[in-house]
Amino acid sequence: MSAGSQAEAAVSTERRASGMTFTLEIWRQRNADDPGRMVAYEATRVSPDMSFLEMLDLLNEELMRKGEEPFAFDSDCREGICGMCGLVINGVAHGPGTGTTTCQLYMRLFKNGSRIRVEPWRARAFPVVRDLVVDRSAFDRIIQAGGYTSVNTGSAPDANATLISQARAEEAMDSAACIGCGACVASCKNASAMLFVAAKVKHLGVLPQGQPERRQRGVTMLETMQEEGFGNCTNEYECEAVCPKEISTSNIAFLNREYIRNLVSLSSLRPLVTSE
Ligand code: SF4
Ligand code: FES
Protein backbone atom coordinates (compact mmCIF):
# COMPACT_ATOMS: atom_id res chain seq x y z
CA MET A 1 0.00 0.00 0.00
CA SER A 2 1.39 3.46 -0.93
CA ALA A 3 2.07 6.09 1.77
CA GLY A 4 -0.88 8.15 0.39
CA SER A 5 -3.36 5.28 0.62
CA GLN A 6 -2.05 4.35 4.11
CA ALA A 7 -2.72 7.93 5.30
CA GLU A 8 -6.19 7.82 3.68
CA ALA A 9 -6.98 4.50 5.38
CA ALA A 10 -5.82 5.93 8.74
CA VAL A 11 -8.09 8.99 8.33
CA SER A 12 -11.02 6.82 7.33
CA THR A 13 -10.48 4.49 10.35
CA GLU A 14 -10.34 7.52 12.64
CA ARG A 15 -13.56 8.92 11.15
CA ARG A 16 -15.31 5.60 11.65
CA ALA A 17 -14.25 5.55 15.30
CA SER A 18 -15.09 9.16 16.23
CA GLY A 19 -17.72 9.94 13.62
CA MET A 20 -18.06 12.94 11.36
CA THR A 21 -19.54 16.32 12.30
CA PHE A 22 -21.66 18.60 10.14
CA THR A 23 -23.50 21.88 10.47
CA LEU A 24 -26.88 21.35 8.87
CA GLU A 25 -29.04 24.25 7.75
CA ILE A 26 -32.52 22.78 7.50
CA TRP A 27 -35.68 24.37 6.13
CA ARG A 28 -38.35 24.58 8.84
CA GLN A 29 -41.93 25.46 7.89
CA ARG A 30 -44.97 24.67 10.04
CA ASN A 31 -47.50 24.56 7.20
CA ALA A 32 -48.20 25.89 3.71
CA ASP A 33 -49.06 29.38 5.09
CA ASP A 34 -45.94 29.74 7.23
CA PRO A 35 -43.18 31.71 5.42
CA GLY A 36 -40.54 29.24 6.73
CA ARG A 37 -36.84 29.75 7.55
CA MET A 38 -33.49 27.98 7.63
CA VAL A 39 -32.44 26.68 11.07
CA ALA A 40 -28.88 25.51 11.88
CA TYR A 41 -28.20 22.25 13.77
CA GLU A 42 -25.01 20.38 14.64
CA ALA A 43 -24.94 16.71 13.62
CA THR A 44 -22.24 14.78 15.48
CA ARG A 45 -21.04 11.15 15.61
CA VAL A 46 -22.13 10.63 12.01
CA SER A 47 -20.73 7.45 10.47
CA PRO A 48 -19.35 7.89 6.94
CA ASP A 49 -21.32 4.75 6.05
CA MET A 50 -24.68 6.27 7.05
CA SER A 51 -27.08 7.29 4.32
CA PHE A 52 -28.18 10.92 4.27
CA LEU A 53 -31.59 9.91 5.67
CA GLU A 54 -30.01 7.88 8.49
CA MET A 55 -27.99 10.97 9.40
CA LEU A 56 -31.27 12.97 9.51
CA ASP A 57 -32.84 10.22 11.69
CA LEU A 58 -29.88 10.52 14.08
CA LEU A 59 -30.29 14.28 14.28
CA ASN A 60 -34.06 13.97 14.85
CA GLU A 61 -33.46 11.49 17.69
CA GLU A 62 -31.04 13.96 19.23
CA LEU A 63 -33.64 16.78 18.93
CA MET A 64 -36.30 14.61 20.57
CA ARG A 65 -33.90 13.69 23.40
CA LYS A 66 -33.46 17.43 24.02
CA GLY A 67 -37.25 17.98 23.97
CA GLU A 68 -37.14 19.87 20.65
CA GLU A 69 -39.47 19.29 17.74
CA PRO A 70 -38.08 16.94 15.07
CA PHE A 71 -38.30 18.04 11.45
CA ALA A 72 -40.46 16.24 8.89
CA PHE A 73 -39.09 14.58 5.77
CA ASP A 74 -40.41 11.89 3.42
CA SER A 75 -39.05 8.40 2.84
CA ASP A 76 -40.34 4.88 2.33
CA CYS A 77 -38.30 2.14 0.64
CA ARG A 78 -34.87 3.69 1.32
CA GLU A 79 -33.47 1.67 -1.57
CA GLY A 80 -34.03 3.98 -4.53
CA ILE A 81 -37.25 2.53 -5.91
CA CYS A 82 -40.29 4.31 -4.43
CA GLY A 83 -39.51 7.97 -5.25
CA MET A 84 -40.65 9.23 -1.83
CA CYS A 85 -37.41 10.78 -0.65
CA GLY A 86 -36.37 14.02 -2.24
CA LEU A 87 -34.32 16.84 -0.81
CA VAL A 88 -32.40 19.71 -2.33
CA ILE A 89 -28.94 19.30 -0.79
CA ASN A 90 -26.53 22.19 -1.22
CA GLY A 91 -28.71 23.45 -4.07
CA VAL A 92 -28.81 20.16 -5.99
CA ALA A 93 -31.87 17.89 -6.15
CA HIS A 94 -30.87 14.57 -4.46
CA GLY A 95 -27.45 16.04 -3.62
CA PRO A 96 -23.97 15.45 -5.02
CA GLY A 97 -24.26 11.79 -6.14
CA THR A 98 -24.83 10.82 -9.79
CA GLY A 99 -27.85 8.67 -10.62
CA THR A 100 -28.63 8.58 -6.88
CA THR A 101 -31.70 9.16 -4.76
CA THR A 102 -31.37 10.98 -1.42
CA CYS A 103 -31.81 7.68 0.44
CA GLN A 104 -28.83 6.17 -1.38
CA LEU A 105 -26.51 9.10 -0.78
CA TYR A 106 -23.78 8.32 1.77
CA MET A 107 -22.16 10.72 4.22
CA ARG A 108 -18.64 9.75 3.09
CA LEU A 109 -19.31 11.91 0.02
CA PHE A 110 -19.33 15.03 2.23
CA LYS A 111 -16.30 16.77 3.72
CA ASN A 112 -16.06 16.28 7.48
CA GLY A 113 -16.91 19.54 9.30
CA SER A 114 -18.72 21.10 6.31
CA ARG A 115 -22.04 23.01 6.22
CA ILE A 116 -24.88 21.32 4.38
CA ARG A 117 -28.06 23.12 3.29
CA VAL A 118 -31.18 20.95 3.17
CA GLU A 119 -34.33 22.25 1.48
CA PRO A 120 -37.57 20.81 0.09
CA TRP A 121 -38.44 20.65 -3.63
CA ARG A 122 -39.39 24.17 -4.63
CA ALA A 123 -42.12 24.40 -7.27
CA ARG A 124 -45.58 25.99 -7.30
CA ALA A 125 -47.13 22.64 -8.19
CA PHE A 126 -45.42 20.97 -5.18
CA PRO A 127 -46.60 23.05 -2.19
CA VAL A 128 -44.76 22.51 1.10
CA VAL A 129 -46.81 20.50 3.60
CA ARG A 130 -44.34 20.80 6.47
CA ASP A 131 -40.57 21.33 6.75
CA LEU A 132 -39.03 19.18 4.01
CA VAL A 133 -42.25 17.44 2.91
CA VAL A 134 -44.03 18.58 -0.24
CA ASP A 135 -47.36 17.55 -1.76
CA ARG A 136 -46.64 15.70 -5.01
CA SER A 137 -50.22 14.64 -5.71
CA ALA A 138 -50.09 16.71 -8.93
CA PHE A 139 -48.03 13.83 -10.37
CA ASP A 140 -50.83 11.39 -9.46
CA ARG A 141 -53.35 13.55 -11.30
CA ILE A 142 -51.13 13.57 -14.40
CA ILE A 143 -50.96 9.76 -14.27
CA GLN A 144 -54.76 9.56 -13.83
CA ALA A 145 -55.19 11.83 -16.87
CA GLY A 146 -53.32 9.22 -18.91
CA GLY A 147 -56.27 6.88 -18.38
CA TYR A 148 -55.80 3.15 -18.58
CA THR A 149 -54.89 0.63 -21.22
CA SER A 150 -57.89 -1.36 -22.46
CA VAL A 151 -57.47 -5.07 -22.06
CA ASN A 152 -59.74 -8.01 -22.67
CA THR A 153 -60.12 -9.70 -19.32
CA GLY A 154 -59.95 -13.46 -19.07
CA SER A 155 -57.18 -15.86 -18.35
CA ALA A 156 -53.65 -14.48 -18.43
CA PRO A 157 -52.15 -14.65 -21.93
CA ASP A 158 -49.02 -16.70 -22.52
CA ALA A 159 -45.90 -14.67 -21.78
CA ASN A 160 -44.70 -15.09 -25.37
CA ALA A 161 -48.07 -14.37 -27.03
CA THR A 162 -47.01 -10.81 -27.93
CA LEU A 163 -43.57 -10.72 -29.46
CA ILE A 164 -41.42 -7.73 -28.51
CA SER A 165 -37.86 -7.27 -29.71
CA GLN A 166 -35.10 -7.05 -27.10
CA ALA A 167 -34.20 -3.52 -28.25
CA ARG A 168 -37.83 -2.35 -27.90
CA ALA A 169 -38.20 -3.96 -24.46
CA GLU A 170 -34.98 -2.26 -23.28
CA GLU A 171 -36.19 1.10 -24.59
CA ALA A 172 -39.49 0.74 -22.72
CA MET A 173 -37.74 -0.39 -19.53
CA ASP A 174 -35.34 2.57 -19.61
CA SER A 175 -38.35 4.91 -19.55
CA ALA A 176 -40.29 2.80 -17.04
CA ALA A 177 -37.39 3.26 -14.59
CA CYS A 178 -38.81 6.71 -13.63
CA ILE A 179 -39.79 6.57 -9.95
CA GLY A 180 -41.81 9.80 -9.93
CA CYS A 181 -39.57 11.51 -7.39
CA GLY A 182 -39.93 15.02 -8.84
CA ALA A 183 -36.23 15.93 -8.88
CA CYS A 184 -36.58 16.92 -12.54
CA VAL A 185 -39.19 19.53 -11.55
CA ALA A 186 -37.15 20.77 -8.59
CA SER A 187 -34.04 21.33 -10.71
CA CYS A 188 -35.74 23.03 -13.67
CA LYS A 189 -35.90 26.83 -13.71
CA ASN A 190 -39.38 26.49 -15.28
CA ALA A 191 -40.43 23.77 -12.79
CA SER A 192 -41.30 21.69 -15.83
CA ALA A 193 -42.46 18.10 -15.42
CA MET A 194 -41.72 17.22 -19.06
CA LEU A 195 -39.12 14.53 -18.24
CA PHE A 196 -41.56 12.76 -15.92
CA VAL A 197 -44.49 12.95 -18.37
CA ALA A 198 -42.26 11.96 -21.29
CA ALA A 199 -40.99 8.86 -19.45
CA LYS A 200 -44.54 7.77 -18.62
CA VAL A 201 -45.83 8.37 -22.17
CA LYS A 202 -42.89 6.63 -23.80
CA HIS A 203 -42.77 3.51 -21.69
CA LEU A 204 -46.28 2.59 -22.85
CA GLY A 205 -46.07 4.24 -26.27
CA VAL A 206 -43.29 2.01 -27.61
CA LEU A 207 -44.95 -1.27 -26.58
CA PRO A 208 -47.79 -3.04 -28.42
CA GLN A 209 -49.73 -3.26 -25.14
CA GLY A 210 -49.70 0.54 -24.88
CA GLN A 211 -51.24 1.23 -28.29
CA PRO A 212 -54.90 1.40 -27.11
CA GLU A 213 -55.60 5.00 -25.96
CA ARG A 214 -52.10 6.04 -27.11
CA ARG A 215 -53.41 9.00 -29.11
CA GLN A 216 -55.22 10.56 -26.14
CA ARG A 217 -52.60 9.69 -23.52
CA GLY A 218 -49.83 12.04 -24.63
CA VAL A 219 -52.21 14.96 -25.11
CA THR A 220 -54.21 14.64 -21.88
CA MET A 221 -51.15 14.06 -19.68
CA LEU A 222 -49.34 17.05 -21.13
CA GLU A 223 -52.41 19.28 -20.83
CA THR A 224 -52.89 18.18 -17.21
CA MET A 225 -49.23 18.98 -16.52
CA GLN A 226 -49.87 22.55 -17.67
CA GLU A 227 -53.14 22.85 -15.70
CA GLU A 228 -51.32 21.71 -12.54
CA GLY A 229 -48.95 24.67 -12.79
CA PHE A 230 -45.79 23.01 -14.10
CA GLY A 231 -43.80 25.02 -16.64
CA ASN A 232 -42.67 24.08 -20.12
CA CYS A 233 -39.35 22.73 -21.34
CA THR A 234 -36.79 25.20 -22.68
CA ASN A 235 -33.97 22.66 -23.12
CA GLU A 236 -32.01 23.39 -19.94
CA TYR A 237 -31.07 19.68 -19.40
CA GLU A 238 -30.97 20.17 -15.59
CA CYS A 239 -33.65 17.48 -15.26
CA GLU A 240 -31.50 14.83 -16.95
CA ALA A 241 -28.46 15.85 -14.85
CA VAL A 242 -30.20 15.21 -11.51
CA CYS A 243 -32.52 12.33 -12.43
CA PRO A 244 -31.65 9.42 -10.13
CA LYS A 245 -32.76 6.97 -12.82
CA GLU A 246 -30.85 8.78 -15.58
CA ILE A 247 -33.95 9.21 -17.74
CA SER A 248 -32.79 10.71 -21.03
CA THR A 249 -34.18 13.96 -22.45
CA SER A 250 -34.62 12.03 -25.72
CA ASN A 251 -37.91 10.96 -24.07
CA ILE A 252 -39.02 14.61 -24.31
CA ALA A 253 -38.38 14.60 -28.07
CA PHE A 254 -40.59 11.48 -28.25
CA LEU A 255 -43.30 13.23 -26.21
CA ASN A 256 -43.23 16.33 -28.43
CA ARG A 257 -43.64 14.17 -31.54
CA GLU A 258 -46.50 12.27 -29.89
CA TYR A 259 -48.22 15.49 -28.84
CA ILE A 260 -48.10 17.15 -32.25
CA ARG A 261 -49.08 14.01 -34.17
CA ASN A 262 -51.89 13.15 -31.79
CA LEU A 263 -53.21 16.69 -31.46
CA VAL A 264 -53.64 16.84 -35.23
CA SER A 265 -55.35 13.45 -35.42
CA LEU A 266 -57.56 14.15 -32.36
CA SER A 267 -58.66 17.56 -33.66
CA SER A 268 -59.67 15.88 -36.92
CA LEU A 269 -61.83 13.51 -34.81
CA ARG A 270 -63.34 16.18 -32.51
CA PRO A 271 -65.82 17.65 -35.11
CA LEU A 272 -67.15 14.11 -35.70
CA VAL A 273 -67.69 13.63 -31.95
CA THR A 274 -69.43 17.03 -31.60
CA SER A 275 -71.81 16.43 -34.49
CA GLU A 276 -73.12 13.18 -32.97
S1 SF4 B 1 -37.84 11.61 -14.64
FE2 SF4 B 1 -36.22 11.16 -13.11
S3 SF4 B 1 -36.19 12.97 -11.79
FE4 SF4 B 1 -38.12 13.03 -12.91
S5 SF4 B 1 -39.64 12.01 -11.60
FE6 SF4 B 1 -38.78 10.42 -12.97
S7 SF4 B 1 -37.08 9.54 -11.81
FE8 SF4 B 1 -37.56 11.48 -10.78
S1 FES C 1 -37.05 6.33 0.05
FE2 FES C 1 -37.74 5.25 -1.73
S3 FES C 1 -36.53 6.09 -3.32
FE4 FES C 1 -35.70 7.00 -1.52
CA 78 to ligand 2: nearest atom = 1
Give mean pLDDT, residues 131-139. Answer: 98
Average pLDDT, the chain: 90
Same domain, 33 and 161: no
Tell me which ligand sits closest to the C-alpha of residue 177.
1
Cβ of 85 less than 6 Å from ligand 2 = yes
Same domain, 157 and 237: yes
Domain range spanning residue 195? 137-275
Q: What is the pLDDT of residues 22-63, one digit of tens each?
A: 999 999 999 999 999 999 999 999 999 999 999 999 999 999
74 alpha carbon to ligand 2 midpoint, in Å? 8
pLDDT number for residue 272: 37
Separation CA 241–CA 255 (nearest Å)? 19
Residue 124: CB partners within 8 Å, gap ≥ 6?
A: 191, 229
115 alpha carbon to ligand 1 midpoint, in Å? 27
Separation CA 213–CA 196 (nearest Å)? 19
The number of folded domains in the chain is 2
Report the alpha-carbon angle 85-59-42, nearest 5.
120
| 159 alpha-carbon distance from chain centroid | 31
Probe residue for ligand 2, chosen from 52, 54, 82 as the CB with the greatest number of ligand atoms within 8 Å: 82
Same domain, 79 and 106: yes
Q: What is the pLDDT of residues 212-262, one digit of tens each?
A: 888 889 899 999 999 999 999 999 999 999 999 999 999 999 999 999 888
Last residue of a domain, one of 111, 128, 145: 128
167 alpha carbon to ligand 1 midpoint, in Å? 22
Helices (H) then strands (E): counts for the chain: 9, 7
Same domain, 35 and 112: yes
Cβ of 121 less than 6 Å from ligand 1 = no
Q: What are the helix (H) ranges across the chain?
A: 3-18, 52-65, 137-145, 166-176, 183-187, 194-205, 214-227, 238-242, 250-275
Same domain, 146 and 91: no
Q: Which of 134, 246, 126, 145 is nearest to 193 (CA)?
A: 126
Decide the pairing of beta strands 20-28 and 115-119.
parallel
Same domain, 95 and 142: no
76 alpha carbon to ligand 2 midpoint, in Å? 5
117 alpha carbon to ligand 2 midpoint, in Å? 20
- Most confident among 17-21, 148-152, 197-201 (mean pLDDT): 197-201
Same domain, 91 and 159: no
Same domain, 151 and 185: yes
Same domain, 47 and 169: no
Task: For residue 217, give the CATH number of its domain.
Answer: 1.10.1060.10
Same domain, 270 and 144: yes
Minimum CA distance residue for ligand 2 atom 3: 80
Cβ of 75 less than 6 Å from ligand 2 = yes
Separation CA 223–CA 232 (nearest Å)? 11
8 alpha carbon to ligand 2 midpoint, in Å? 31
30-33 long-range Cβ contacts below 8 angstroms, 24+ apart: 30/130, 31/129, 31/130, 32/127, 32/128, 32/129
Same domain, 179 and 248: yes
Same domain, 25 and 120: yes
